Amino acid sequence: MPKFRIFGVLIGTFLLAALFLTLASSTPVRAEEPAVIGDLALVKYVCPTNLASTGNLIPAGCSDANNPNDATVPTIAAGSSVSFLYQVSYTCPAGAICEPLRPISVTISDTQLPSVTPTEYGSLTDSNSNNTIDPGDVWLYKVNGQSAIDLSQPGLVLPDGGAPVSGCANAADGGGARPTYVNEARTTAPGISDTDSAAYCNPFAPSIVIVKSTNGVDANTPPGPEIQVGNPVAWTYLVTNNGNAALSNVAVTDDRGLTVTCPKTTLAVGEQMTCTANGVATAGQYVNIGTATGQSPSGQQVTDSDTSHYIGSATPVRSARPVPIPEPVTVVLFGTGLAALSAAVAARRRKA
Ligand SMILES: [Ca+2]
Ligand SMILES: [Ca+2]
Ligand SMILES: [Ca+2]
């Protein structure tokens, strides 16, 4: 029996030694083999066009536009097409063995597009043409079918909860700083991520509009309100900045040489002011034209004109007594209507 025991011990020792040698010999291999996820680098582009659903190039006109004041930040008119392109480069640290990534396992989110999922556009570089993102490959993702936002809207809140930033100070149109859209994208693969932003603004479209009234009546066509000769006439000139650029040097003139007084000379986007002039009614049909002018930050001149009329009456105008404020429109219209009725009655009496 001792022979068997000695034999068993020898067998056991041999097996242990074999196991040790196996483990020892396998340890260096395990240090080299585990594949890792490499690094992702994201470049986000803004494109002033609607991208196709697939592609393998970054279209001309797309811009990295990281800083809102970069000269490459595009100006895109409100409502025009805008797309975003996301370039994902995959690299592997030196000495490491990196797992290839499936394109679908790389995801992208965008701060201003919370409900939109960027989708695969195509490969920019797929060196071994295996449709898989190996180290050294570059893949493209996209969001298309978007419309540029009107960034000049007062109080605009963007999808990320913030307001547009000041940017486009160096935009190609020379218009200078204005509200600018910035979104930041993040690309993610298991355990890794990277971010990049892009910006755009709207081209400047400065505009001004004026509505000129006589005693509160727009009165674009004659005769306009009837006013007794010698009574006061109040002209108002409602001037509105209806463009997307702040206006300076805003002034109103009147073609009849009236002195027009305005409360200010600048108008922010959407702001309006009422300028005034005063006079005394003269006999007969009267018309004058008010003209508003202003200047955009890029020096572009804007102008608009509007007329108004009144008819000066030698006889007292019933109910057209000194125009009550703030309801001149109602009173003047009533006076005109009453005068018309009186004229009709007088004509009937003459016929009778
Ligand atoms: Ca960018
Ligand atoms: Ca590949
Ligand atoms: Ca008018």
Distance CA 178, CA 13 (A): 83
Q: What is the pLDDT of residues 79-101, one digit of tens each?
A: 999 999 999 999 999 988 999 99
More confident: 17 or 59: 59
Q: Is the pLDDT of residue 20 over 60?
A: no
Question: What's the pLDDT score for residue 190?
Answer: 86
Question: What's the pLDDT score for residue 191?
Answer: 87
Query: pLDDT grade, residue 172 (50/70/90)?
Result: confident
Q: Is the pLDDT of residue 305 over 50?
A: yes
Q: Is the pLDDT of residue 200 over 90?
A: yes
Residue carrying the six token digits 């002039």: 277
Calculate how far, in angstroms, residue 51's C-alpha sits from the geometric centre of ligand 2.
23
Question: What's the pLDDT score for residue 345?
Answer: 28
Measured from the alpha carbon of residue 305, the closest ligand is: 3
Measured from the alpha carbon of residue 287, the closest ligand is: 3
Per-residue pLDDT averaged across 33-48, rounded?
A: 88
Nearest of 157, 178, 158 to residue 167 by alpha carbon: 178
Calculate how far, in angstroms, residue 158's C-alpha sits from the geometric centre of ligand 1.
19
Calculate how far, in angstroms, residue 220's C-alpha sits from the geometric centre of ligand 3.
4
Burial 19-52 (b: 16+ CB within 10 A, else e): eeeeeeeeeeeeeeeeeebbebebbbbbbbbebe
Per-residue pLDDT averaged across 32-56, rounded?
A: 89
Per-residue pLDDT averaged across 191-218, rounded?
A: 95
Distance CA 262, CA 254 (A): 12
Question: What's the pLDDT score for residue 319?
Answer: 57
Distance CA 103, CA 126 (A): 11
Calculate how far, in angstroms, residue 103's C-alpha sits from the geometric centre of ligand 2.
10
Mean pLDDT of the chain: 84
Which of 54-63, 138-147, 336-345 has the least mean pLDDT?
336-345
Question: What's the pLDDT score for residue 327?
Answer: 32
Q: Is the pLDDT of residue 37 over 60?
A: yes
Calculate how far, in angstroms, residue 139's C-alpha sits from the geometric centre of ligand 2.
10
Partner residues linked to 151 by β-bridges: none
Calculate how far, in angstroms, residue 97's C-alpha sits from the geometric centre of ligand 2.
15
Calculate how far, in angstroms, residue 41's C-alpha sits from the geometric centre of ligand 1.
11
Cα–chain center distance at 192 = 32
Query: pLDDT grade, residue 53 (50/70/90)?
Result: very high
Calculate how far, in angstroms, residue 146's C-alpha sits from the geometric centre of ligand 1.
17
Question: What's the pLDDT score for residue 8?
Answer: 53
Question: What's the pLDDT score for residue 237?
Answer: 98
Q: Is the pLDDT of residue 311 over 60?
A: yes
Per-residue pLDDT averaged across 181-203, rounded?
A: 94
Calculate how far, in angstroms, residue 306's C-alpha sits from the geometric centre of ligand 3.
5
Calculate how far, in angstroms, residue 44's C-alpha sits from the geometric centre of ligand 1.
4
Cα–chain center distance at 233 = 43
Question: What's the pLDDT score for residue 5?
Answer: 55
Measured from the alpha carbon of residue 123, the closest ligand is: 2
Q: What is the 3-state secondary structure (H, E, C) of the chain?
A: CHHHHHHHHHHHHHHHHHHHHHHHHHHHHHHHCCCECCEEEEEEEEECCCCCCCCCCCCCCCECCCCCCCCCCCECCCCCEEEEEEEEEEECCCCCCECCECHHHCEEEECCCCCCCCEEEEEEECCCCCCCECCCCEEEEEEEEEECCCCCCCCCCCCCCCCCEEECCCCCCCCCCEEEEEEEEEEEECCEEEEEEEEEECCCCCCCEEEEEECCECCCCCCCCEEECCCEEEEEEEEECCCCCCEEEEEEEECCCCCCECCCCCECCCCEEEEEEEEECCCEEEEEEEEEEEECCCCCEEEEEEEEEEEEECCCCCCCCCCCCCCHHHHHHHHHHHHHHHHHHHHHHHHC
Calculate how far, in angstroms, residue 286's C-alpha sits from the geometric centre of ligand 3.
13
Calculate how far, in angstroms, residue 143's C-alpha sits from the geometric centre of ligand 1.
14
Calculate how far, in angstroms, residue 48's C-alpha sits from the geometric centre of ligand 2.
30
Which amino acid makes up residue 233? V
Question: What's the pLDDT score for residue 244?
Answer: 85
CATH 2.60.40.10 domain extents, the chain:
209-333
More confident: 20 or 302: 302
Measured from the alpha carbon of residue 43, the closest ligand is: 1
Calculate how far, in angstroms, residue 59's C-alpha sits from the geometric centre of ligand 1.
14
Nearest of 68, 238, 260 to residue 170 by alpha carbon: 68
Please tell me the CATH code under which domain 209-333 is placed: 2.60.40.10
Q: What is the pLDDT of residues 158-168, one digit of tens each?
A: 999 999 999 99
Question: What proportion of the chain, given as a percentage, has pLDDT over 90?
Answer: 69
Q: What is the pLDDT of residues 256-298, one digit of tens each?
A: 999 999 999 999 988 999 999 999 999 999 999 999 999 998 8
Query: pLDDT grade, residue 16 (50/70/90)?
Result: very low
